[in-house]
Structure 1
Amino acid sequence: MLKRLSLCLAIVASFISGATIARAATLDEILRKGKVRIAVVQDLAPWGFLNTNLEPEGFDIDVARLLAKDMGVQLELVPTIAANRIPFLQTDKVDIVIAALGANPDRAKSIWFSSAYALLYSGVFAAKNQAISSYADLAGKTVGVTRGNTEDLLISSLAPAGARIMRFEDNATTISAWMTGQTQVLVNTNTTAAEIAKNNPDKTIESKITIVKSPLYMGVSKGSDDLLRWINIFILTKKLNGDLNKISEKWFREPIPSDLPTL
């Protein structure tokens, strides 16, 4: 009898534990508590990083602060790494993830995604005085790329025969080659280009061609209907009034694309 009772209690406890893990944050709960918990990365500049005073900064940090301000609640930034972004939602450690998070069908089995609020992309970058608007314009130019990465595979199939593709063993060397004039063109991500521009104000680097777009989304727990609706209205409003553009210009020196997908 005692064993049976213990088994029953264990089953009940497991259901309670499961319910806690699966509990979805609601907008009303956040407003009642007066605080929103948002997961952010702190090791991926310029999306999120720690400045010299060990304070969080970055595009996603600014967006999180703006969201909390519009919601009218206190912001609790919860540091995370890429691997923990979804588990933090599933275990009720955070209410929202704003951490350079891309969407795919597999991830969508575990959490819900907002409309896109930003864009990570691979592209062709060069100095402002370089006239490049198509892949054909790469003919006769030296193009630097990191060997074996996504950009290497892409540009190898897209560049014209006259382009001289120079492959380097790591990203730092690829960047250094462009900085020192060894290459005229850099094939990399907008994140890398933004960091170059930030750390080298004397250099003019701009996006010439977008190769592959990877929209970024906010994440919430499955079942957070009202919270997700509010976030989508927030994103739409901030696109329309230019607030997201201001943050993007600050960190990436370019506006938010007008064709970001909505969900």
Structure 2
Amino acid sequence: MTFLKSLLAGAALALATVPAHADLSDILSEGTIQIAVPENFPPFGSLGAEGEHVGYDVDVAKLIAEDLGVELELVPVTSKQRIPFLETDRVDLVISSMGANPERAKSIWFSSAYAPFYSGAFAASGVAVASAADLAGLKVGLTGGTLEDLELTDSAPEGTEIIRFGDNAATLAAFTSGQVDVLVTGNTVAAGLSADNPDLDMETKFIIKESPAFIGVKKGNFDLLQWVNVFILHKTLGGQLNDLSETWLGQPLPPLPAL
């Protein structure tokens, strides 16, 4: 009797841990898709004036749900949550201004690029910085767990004080308040900060890395990955992604790499 109960309990546990969406067919049959979008990373994703999520990534998520013919559940995430949420089946896709690199590719799959992005170092005009080698002795603010964090940790010289913040809003606040000398972030974030603070003395010092944004897909979901790549191709050729780039990023969609 005890053995039978153990078997039943084990079977129940196995059923409880089956992913809600194993691949594209499951999304279509269940009629919903969960997509991770940035929690506080304008213009890619943030809360709008009416309390709804808005931004480039949010609009791409909406287009995906529309083309699939399913209901969309937006799941706001921080940078550090993106891969874990995908690995644990909390979401089906991650559309959160995520760059692709070999380390991340050990854990998840990436689509072709869908949005332009570069990481740079920004500081006041009087700060003499032309490359990572000039950061020694300076306080550098960035958001922990981001591509900028990975790149700068490898390239910053000894004596650089890297201060990592939990989210993008805290990083920007640290720079505007003078807590850090140099802001390391994405070009669109820096542009938004300048637009919101017209009197802020800030200029681009150097580009750390060209890093277009890719959509994250859980390993093994091959049909979903293929569909997403066709979607990106279709929206690129049809001009929808260019329209989103003009609206949210203030620039035409440049040529982007395909995987």
Q: 1:224 aligns with which of 198, 215, 221?
A: 221
Report the CA distance shift for 1:148/1:73 in structure 2 as closer, same or farther (over 3 A): closer
Q: Does structure 2 retain, via aligned residues, the 8 Å contact 1:116–1:215?
A: yes
**1:261 corresponding residue in structure 2:** 257
Distance 2:16 2:55 in 1: 35
Q: Which amino acid aligns with 1:193?
A: A
1:132-165 residue CA offsets vs partner (Å, 9 max, x unmatched): xxx79xxxxxxxx9636569889989xxxxxxxx
Distance 2:247 2:177 in 1: 24
**1:71 corresponding residue in structure 2:** 68
Q: Which amino acid aligns with 1:51?
A: G
Report the CA distance shift for 1:61/1:146 in structure 2 as closer, same or farther (over 3 A): farther
Report the CA distance shift for 1:156/1:79 in structure 2 as closer, same or farther (over 3 A): closer
Q: Which amino acid aligns with 2:82?
A: R
Residue pairs, 1:243-254, within 5 angstroms? 243-254=240-251
Q: 1:32 aligns with which of 29, 42, 48?
A: 29
* Cα distance, 1:62 vs structure 2: 1.2
Which stretches of structure 1, 4 residues or longer, exceed 6 Å deviation after superposition? Answer: 150-157, 205-209
Q: Does structure 2 retain, via aligned residues, the 8 Å contact 1:146–1:152?
A: no
* Cα distance, 1:78 vs structure 2: 2.2
Larger Rg: 1
Aligned residue-pair number = 230
Q: Does structure 2 retain, via aligned residues, the 8 Å contact 1:40–1:79?
A: yes
* Cα distance, 1:38 vs structure 2: 1.4
* Cα distance, 1:4 vs structure 2: 2.6
Distance 2:67 2:53 in 1: 20
Distance 1:59 1:104 in 2: 22
Matched, 1:4 2:3: yes
Distance 1:212 1:110 in 2: 22
* Cα distance, 1:102 vs structure 2: 2.8
User: What 5-or-longer segments of structure 1 have no aligned partner?
Assistant: 127-134, 137-144, 158-166, 178-184
**1:130 corresponding residue in structure 2:** none
**1:101 corresponding residue in structure 2:** 98
**1:214 corresponding residue in structure 2:** 211
Distance 1:233 1:90 in 2: 23
Matched, 1:61 2:58: yes
Q: Which amino acid aligns with 1:117?
A: Y
* Cα distance, 1:61 vs structure 2: 0.7
State the SS of the aligned residue for 1:239. helix
**2:135 corresponding residue in structure 1:** none
Q: Does structure 2 retain, via aligned residues, the 8 Å contact 1:59–1:247?
A: yes
Q: Which amino acid aligns with 1:110?
A: S
Q: Which amino acid aligns with 1:81?
A: T
Distance 2:194 2:242 in 1: 17
Q: Percent identity?
A: 48
Q: Does structure 1 retain, via aligned residues, the 8 Å contact 2:172–2:193?
A: no
* Cα distance, 1:201 vs structure 2: 7.8
State the SS of the aligned residue for 2:96. strand
Distance 1:186 1:107 in 2: 24
What is the TM-score of this pair, normalised by structure 2?
0.68
What is the TM-score of this pair, normalised by structure 1?
0.67
1:74-111 residue CA offsets vs partner (Å, 9 max, x unmatched): 32222233333233333433222212223334433433
**1:194 corresponding residue in structure 2:** 191
Residue pairs, 1:131-210, within 5 angstroms? 147=140, 171-172=172-173, 174=175, 188-196=185-193, 198-199=195-196, 210=207
Q: Does structure 2 retain, via aligned residues, the 8 Å contact 1:175–1:186?
A: no
Distance 2:225 2:210 in 1: 23
Q: Which amino acid aligns with 1:94?
A: V
* Cα distance, 1:24 vs structure 2: 1.6
* Cα distance, 1:198 vs structure 2: 4.4
Distance 1:120 1:232 in 2: 19
User: What 5-or-longer segments of structure 2 have no aligned partner?
Assistant: 124-129, 132-137, 143-148, 164-170
